[in-house]
Copies of this chain bind each other. A is one copy, B any other.
Amino acid sequence: MASNYPQETSAATALLPGSLVHQRREAVAANTLLCQLDILKKTGRYDCFNLKWHPVYSRAPEVWPVPDHLFWDSDVAKWIEGACYLLHDHPHPKIDASIHELVGLIRSAQQPDGYLNLHYTMVEPGKRFTNLRDMHELYNAGHMIEAALAHQHLYKNDMLMDPILKYVDLLHKTFGPGEDQIHGYPGHPEIELALIRLYNRTQNPKHLELASYFIHERGNPTGVKGEHYYDVELRARGDDPYKRPSYHTEVGGCKWYYSAHKPIIEQETVEGHSVRAMYLLTAAADLTRVSSGKASNDLRKATYRLWNNMTQRKMYVTGGIGAVKQYEGFGRDFFLPQGTDEGGCYAETCASIGAMMLAQRILQYDLDSRYSDVMELCLYNAVLTVMSHDGTAFTYVNQLASSDADPAKRSDWFTVACCPPNTLRLLGSIGGYIYSDDSSNGTTSVNVHLYIPSKHTFNLEGQEYTLTQKSNYPWNGAITFTLDRSPETGLSLRLRIPSFAKAHWHLDPPLPSTPEIQKGYLHIPSSYLAALPNQSFTLSLPVTPRLITPHPYATNSNTLTLARGPIIYCVEDVDNPWVTDHFKSVRLDPACLDRVREEDVRDERTGDVYTGLTVVEGARVLDVERAEGEMMGMPFLEVGKSGREAGVNGVNGVNGTHSADFDGLKTKTIEELRFVPFYFRANRGGRGHSRVGIDRWDQC
């Protein structure tokens, strides 16, 4: 069966050198893979499937009730999976050998009945499946399935797939609606999306059945004799309901944290832990593609509803999701504080990778640029910002504004080490996100979702074609497509017109007739392709500076963000060394858009190339240090007490020339406010002051 999964289709796409994404993928292949292998070894993860005792097993968990080693299975699995994607075009004997060894260890750790989980084999034998809600048992299983799929795809053998299929068999027997089965589902979704991919490979209906059970049973308020499964499970294991994991904000089980407060089809808003929600919806969307009937339709409607709620009310301008740190998840509609000082901002990388996965799944049945626009937004901003230019340092959360409590800095590794290997997996398979091919009845439509220089191989009527796209995107909007030979009549292309380019794109040579754009995709008909000189044409997108702002109801609605093409910009102290307050006292005038200077930058330290933006005399800094004096002991300032004044010295270090009053505070023009792409933050030292959305003042 043809696959639509980027983890598999990526093999048909080779990135070409020169682009940002290519550079980051190369860095991952050259550095991250080995660096993570090293960490797997140092921390005990590499060896853990030898089933020897490790001191960590007796340690009190940092986040009760989750033992520190609980994710180790998945850490190993994700590394194997990501490595397999990269080995495809970056052969590496040492990595190869390590995968071989790890697979052997995993095989040896499997229990006779197929069970395969480190914690419940080593630390709590006999207690398997007693805390589906918190113990990541099925989450780990999901990642094992994904590793097996990648391993089988690359090595064309079943060394990892065999034990995993045996484990899945056990799970299929264990979970389901039968009287002697457990009516439960994982607290952290992941196995659902893995099972549907497995079904695509195996065509074994059991695999789809188990995924479907987990998805549809989730949140059933009367799943076990009139009660919610998680309530029954908690009582069965004798837990005190007042013992709360630290990620529970309230007593009562916080079922919304697990997206299990009600059945998915009844959910109106996306809630809880954002990675869990994304993994769950990715599986739900995919399930509706391979199933039919009322339940499937309702599920698809719910997926759309929750997507819309997320992108319109719960997503940062960077594509980041998850405003609340305590539970790593969504706040209420429009609650989008930019940083710790403002009440939160988590925007975990894995969550935005999840949003990309969800968008990719929906695009398989609904080719609409609203999904691929967000996919691109997430990739260039919320996701790429996770790693340093060389792939050796990472962020876990991607706040839009730093604070003294949480400066913008990178670390090498994390106790909960999900994001770096997830980035490995994503960049390993990124080729599969660029294109998708729809073939039927002798026609093929190649859909281009992302503009990343690459060669894409596809089939039309049994013939292999190569489509090459070249550009300096996202810095320059001219993208040239070339087919390796003149195509048959059955070929068409569909090119995403990004929302920022809606009215201003053009094609060279132009289309002979009125362009047909459906749901944001420009249709390039076969007649146009057949008539091309050199099988080549150029799409030009207007890549110019833009100002964007969140929904007027959002908590950060008063901020202006500078963007250019798909790139979201931020300010950093390294370029604006006078800043001492995380840019809290800077005010930006929307009229500044006329005063944005663009320049090509090649950063010396990192070698990174990007377009830098500078706002020239379009921003002011308030003399906030004087505010508390002006407040005269009251909790507020008087507004509009005086007009503009000239010639007053305000803030140290700002080379300003004019001054004006802002609610009785002196202000000073910032001659040059320098912006860099958000993904590039925290790459060049500095003091960790950074901000995306700048407070707006329409009178700078």
Which residues of A are in contact with B by a Cβ distance under 8 Å?
Answer: 64-65, 240, 242-244, 246, 249-251, 308, 311-312, 315-317, 319, 326, 331-335, 337, 340-344, 368-371, 373-374, 377, 405, 499-500, 502, 546-553, 555, 557-558, 560-561, 581, 584-585, 590-591, 593, 622, 624, 627-628, 631-640, 662-663, 665, 695-699
Contacts and interface: CB of A to CB of B under 8 A. Distances in A.
Contacts of A547: 638-640
A552 B624 contact: yes
B698 A548 contact: no
Given A343-B331, A555-B337, A624-B552, A319 B635 contact: yes
B319 A663 contact: no
Contacts of A624: 551-553
B342 A636 contact: no
Contact of A548 (B341, B371, B553, B638): B638
Contacts of A697: 698
Given A312-B631, A370-B633, A558 B558 contact: yes
B634 A499 contact: yes
A653 to B, nearest CB: 18
Nearest to A336: B635
Return the 5 tightest CB-CB contacts between A and B, nearest first: A370-B633, A315-B635, A558-B558, A547-B639, A698-B698
A619 to B, nearest CB: 14
Residue picked from A593, A634, A638, most chain B C-beta under 10 Å: A634
Contact of A557 (B405, B591, B695): B695
Contact of A636 (B561, B622, B698): B561
Contacts of A637: 548-552
A665 B551 CA distance: 10
A65 B637 CA distance: 42
Contacts of A343: 331-332, 335, 337, 343-344, 555
A341 to B, nearest CB: 6
Contacts of A696: 558
10 contacts: A240-B243, A250-B326, A312-B631, A317-B635, A371-B633, A499-B633, A548-B636, A548-B638, A553-B584, A593-B640
A593 B643 CA distance: 14
Given A64-B251, A552-B622, A553-B624, 14 more contacts: A242-B244, A243-B243, A246-B250, A250-B326, A312-B633, A316-B635, A334-B341, A343-B343, A373-B634, A549-B636, A551-B636, A553-B584, A558-B696, A698-B698
B244 A627 contact: no
Nearest to A568: B636
A28 B634 CA distance: 29
A364 to B, nearest CB: 17
B557 A369 contact: no
B312 A663 contact: no
Contacts of A633: 311-312, 368-371, 373-374, 499
Contact of A627 (B249, B502, B552): B552
A631 B370 CA distance: 10
A373 B561 CA distance: 39
Residue picked from A342, A502, A635, most chain B C-beta under 10 Å: A635
A363 to B, nearest CB: 13
Contacts of A312: 628, 631, 633, 635
B634 A695 contact: no
Contact of A591 (B548, B632, B635, B640): B640
A30 B234 CA distance: 52
A379 to B, nearest CB: 14
A341 B333 contact: yes
Given A243-B242, A377-B634, A499-B632, A326 B251 contact: no
A369 B634 CA distance: 10
A667 to B, nearest CB: 10
